[in-house]
Every structure is written in C-alpha cells, then in structure tokens.
Amino acid sequence: MDSQINEIKSRIDVVEVIGGYVRLQKAGANWRANCPFHNERTPSFMVSPSRQVWRCFGSCGEGGDVFSFLMKIEGIEFVDALKILAQKAGVILKREDPKLKSERRKYCDISEMAAGFFEKNLETAAVGKEAKKYLKERGLKDETIKEFRLGWASESWDELLNFLIAKGYKAADVEKAGLAVKKQNENRWFDRFRGRIIFPIFDLHGQPIGFGGRIFKENADKEAKYLNSPQTFLYDKSKVLYGLNFAKQEIRRREKCVLVEGYMDLIMSHQDGLKHCVAVSGTALTPFQLAILKRYSDNLILAFDMDEAGQKAADRGIDLARNLGFNIRVLILPEGKDPADYALSHPCRLETEAETAKPIMEYYFEKVFHKFKADSAENKKEIAKILLPQIRQIPNQIEQAHWIAELAGRLGVREEVVIGELKRNREGNDVPSEIDEITRETAQKSPNKPREEVFGDHLVSLLLKHNLHFDVIRDFDFSPLKNFTFALALEHFKKSDGEFNYEKIYRDTPDHLKNYLNKIELESQNFEIKDPLLEIKSCFTNLRRHLLDKRMEEIKIILGQAEKSKAHGQDAELMVRFQRLASERQKLEKI
C-alpha cells in the first residue's frame, strides 16, 4: 500500500490539485491563496511545489500533503481520497482491500449504479424513449444528454430497488443513499423516484451523489413537478451546486460565474456555450454555496427567472453575495425568458447576452422605477425606502456619491435631502446608531466576546440551520440585551406565527439585521448537532442562567454601595428582586 501511495504522490502535483479548489497566486517559488478553511482577507495559505505540501500560516494553522488537503476540503476519509487521486494519477490499485470499502464508497457505488440504471432506461424503456424525445424537443442534443447522464425512472414501485438488491445491497442501504423510501410501520421499501426524468447531481469529481427527478406525464398533476434526493451521507443540497464539476475550470479561466436556477437552465446554458455556469437546484441560494463559489471567482452574474419567485430568489442571493464581498451583476434576458427557453429560441446567443448583465445598482434602480413613478410624495418615499439601504451597502464612497446623485436627480430633490435621509435610514427608528458596529463585532469570533453574546449567536444559528419551532423563546423578554444584535434578531423571530420559516422571516427582516443573519448562517455550517431541539433548549437555558447571574450581580453591587453610603431606602425592594431572581435561577438548575 505504501508503494502505491508514493507512486500516486510522484505523479500528482499538489499545486494542480489544490488549484482545482482555490485561486492560487504565484509567490516566489511557492503559491498562495486565502485559506479555504477559515475566513481571512490577507492570504496566509501557502503551497510548496518543491516539497509538495501546503500550510496555513493564519489562525487555523492547518497543513499537510495532497491527501490531507483532499480529505479536509471534501470531508472524506483517506480511502476515498486515495481512490480519487489514484484515478487522477492513472494508478490502478492492485486489489480491493475490504478496508477500502468505506461507508462513503458504499453509497457512491449505489449512486453510480443507480445513475447507470436510469441512463439505460432512457435509451431502452418504452416510456424512457418518449422521455428522451421530450428532452430533444426541449433542445437537448444526444451528446448533451450523454454528458450530463440524464436518465429515466419507470413507474414501477421497486424496479431500481430490486436491481440494487440483486447487486448485493440491502434495502436499508438504498434508503440511506436517498433512493428508496420505507413504508410507514412496515418493513417494506419502494423506489423514491418513479415516472420521472432523472438528473444526476455530481460532486466536484463527477461522482453522482444525489438525483433530481422531473415528472414526465402531464396527467400526473397531483405530483410535485420536481423531486430531489433528501439529505444523505453524500448529499447536502445546501452545500452542492449543480454543474460545478463541469464549470469549475471555466469559471476560474473567465474569472466569473453565471448562476441559474434549474437543471434545464444549466444544461441548456452549457450546451449553448455558457460553460462558466452553475445552478442552485432544490434550494434557495445559501451562504455555503457562495463560500464554495468564492474559491473560484469573486464575480457573480445572477440569471434567475424573472417571475415573482425568481426575483425574490435573486434579491436574497444578492444580499448574501454582497455580504460575502462578491461583485454582482444581474442578467435579465429579452422577453422575460429563462435561460433554457432563451437558448432554445435564440441559439448561440446566451454568452453574448451574459456580457450585457447589469451592475447591481442599475438592476435595483431599473426595477424600482419600473414599479413606481416618481410623480407623488408617497411614491418617492417608497422608492427611497427601497433604494437607500442598497446605496448604504456600497463600500466605495465615490460610487456611493454617484448613486446618491442619481437618486436625487430622479426624485427631483437636492442631494442633501437624500444624504440626510440616508443617515436617518442608517440609524433606524428604534435601533441604536451603533448598529453596524454591533453587527460587525458580534459576527466576528472574538475570544473576548461576552458569554451572553456567545450563547445568543449560537441560539440564532441553531434556529436558522434547523428550521425548528421556537416556542422556547416566544415568551422571553430580550430587552435587557438590546445592545446585542442577536437579541434584536430573536425579538424579530418572535413576531413570526407558527412554525419557524426562514424564507418568510428573512423576507420580512429589516435591512439592518440581514447582514447579521447572513454572517451567522454562514458561520453555523460547522455545527453538527444530533438533537437540535435539545441543543436549542440547552443554549437558551444557558443564556437565561447567565443573564440572571448578571442581574443578581448588579443588585449585589447596588446593595454594597448602599451599605457603604448608609442609604438603605431601597434595600427591601432590592432584596425582594434578588430573592425572586435567585428562585428563578434555582429552577434552571433542575432543567
């Protein structure tokens, strides 16, 4: 085994492998980049081609060889990294050691076999041939269908399941791979995907890890149009971008990425020549996906559908991307078409259209002034209400001044009026003017962070990540913590009715809290909690306990000062308050 590892290392260039994940820049004899394992502004991640090693000289201090990098960046075991690098190096592993059959490899094999099964069905099954005909009518060529490994899942309840069982896998393993569903209260399983065109979802190396299925027969109107794999050992939809395995090199070469919504938008875009394109399928754009894209480029073009849902998705994507420092443009295709339909009706034009994508502020101005005419005081107020928060986010003062002048001119008011309103908008009505400083301070991981802030941030991150009921916080008064942004966010959460719905809450979130939520959502990606509800209750209990301790300590100080000055007028009242807090604190110890 050691000889094979050494052979792989001798054939693999660590710079080439790491360069497939991060943008490396030459630094003398070495290469450097921003570390992909922690947030930083100044590059401290170094790669040595002579020694074939890498190391972060920043806060995380990680380092190692090409195997350790692949294991850490992909979250895989050594045996999986060995197989990936062996394939890349052209080294044939001599024998299949049982120890190499990791849990991940088992599910990779199941997913690979399923993809091949679906592909064959598309070519040979009667309805599969109809599905292929439909795909070609939508504009897909045979070579494109083959490249993206599109397939067909028959109407049968257990065709795939029986196929995989015959290959030696257990029904429970097929379920864990996301391809089967167990019948409630019975020891029976059935295929998850039935009567659907199948789109395999790949990891960065082209390995199928999940699937998307589009309903084919139009009479099946009771079924959801698209069905995606659930979260599995291999697949987490919030951390996967469809088509990135095809697009990553082109994104790096062009130094920009086009982001579309669906499977067909992505595939038709690639076929049409727009190969620096990826899709967010089955989920709203997440900070995790943006963090992955940032390894390849800082320049992002959003080409979402321009219906109401698409515009909301674009707006949220813009907020997240701006917060992470992307340069953003928005592509609005003629006739309001989505990329797939436009590529079908206007072949070989998508790439040219992508060059016309509007800078973010032009997009916002055009959108708002299309909706409102600046012909009344009320409309002007609405226009300013929407655009001022966007102008405020512009970091460059010269660019900000340009858009202040633009808004003033379009509204027919003096620039001083806009600047004054911008300042008032910045401060908010009920929010301290230091809100931006509080937000930045809270979002940073600081060893001196107050404990209530640590608990509060963690509580917010848990609610965001797990979309749970939050009755546990509904009756709590966070006003004593109003100087912390987490308390403002939790008070905002309490206004939502029923089950926690992040999309709704985010849509209704005031602008001064969005940056904070984006930061916390991004930072929460490292928390893996077995029992999220129990963790939320524990975190909330710790927050209450710490707050009670703080209040009791304040009363002690006041009582001590009163004792020294012999001013005992409020002693009795303070002691009653202290006893009440102590009693509440004692109850928490039993939780």
For 240-282, the pLDDT digits (tens) are 999 999 998 899 889 899 999 899 999 999 999 999 999 987 6
The pLDDT score that the predictor gives to residue 427 is: 47
Angle, helix 451-466 to helix 532-565, in steps of 10 degrees: 160
pLDDT, averaged across the chain: 82
CA–CA separation, 363 vs 79, rounded Å?
48
- Report the 10 Å Cβ neighbour count for 170: 11
| Residue 425's pLDDT band (cuts 50, 70, 90) | low
Contact 39, 287 (CB under 8 A): no
The pLDDT score that the predictor gives to residue 440 is: 37
| Residue 97's pLDDT band (cuts 50, 70, 90) | low
Reported as half-sphere exposure (CB side, CA atoms, 13 A), residue 348 has a value of: 0
**Residue 395 confidence (pLDDT) above 90:** no
pTM of the shown model:
0.65
| Residue 579's pLDDT band (cuts 50, 70, 90) | confident
- What architecture (CATH level 2) is domain 2-99? Alpha-Beta Complex (3.90)
Amino acid identity at 484? F
The H-or-E segment that residue 279 falls in is strand 277-279
**Residue 437 confidence (pLDDT) above 50:** no
The pLDDT score that the predictor gives to residue 441 is: 36
Structure tokens at 23: 């943008």
Structure tokens at 543: 């927050």
- Report the 10 Å Cβ neighbour count for 90: 10
The pLDDT score that the predictor gives to residue 472 is: 67
| Residue 562's pLDDT band (cuts 50, 70, 90) | low
Structure tokens at 568: 């005992």
The pLDDT score that the predictor gives to residue 524 is: 57
**Residue 18 confidence (pLDDT) above 80:** yes
- What architecture (CATH level 2) is domain 365-427? Up-down Bundle (1.20)
Choose the CATH number for 244-356 among 3.60.70.12, 3.30.470.20, 1.20.1630.10, 3.40.1360.10.
3.40.1360.10
Closest residue by Cα to residue 513 from 487, 485, 481: 485
For 136-146, the pLDDT digits (tens) are 999 999 999 99
Helix (H, G, I), strand (E, B), or coil: what is residue 574? Answer: helix
Q: What are phi and psi of 10, to 5 degrees?
A: -70, -25
Least confident of 8-17, 151-160, 464-473, 520-529: 520-529
Kindly list the domain boundaries of the chain, sorted by start residue: 2-99, 103-235, 244-356, 365-427, 438-588
Least confident of 12-16, 72-76, 326-330: 72-76
**Bigger pLDDT: 539 or 112?**
112
CA–CA separation, 275 vs 285, rounded Å?
20
Amino acid identity at 54? W
Amino acid identity at 225? K
- Long-range Cβ pairs for the range 547-556 (8 Å, 24+): 547/452, 547/480, 547/481, 548/581, 548/584, 548/585, 548/588, 549/585, 550/452, 551/480, 551/581, 552/578, 552/581, 552/582, 552/585, 555/581
Contact 509, 492 (CB under 8 A): yes
CATH number of the domain located at residue range(s) 103-235 in this protein: 3.90.980.10
Structure tokens at 514: 């969005």
**Bigger pLDDT: 539 or 329?**
329
Q: What are phi and psi of 562, to 5 degrees?
A: -65, -40
Q: Over range 508-523, report the average pLDDT.
A: 69
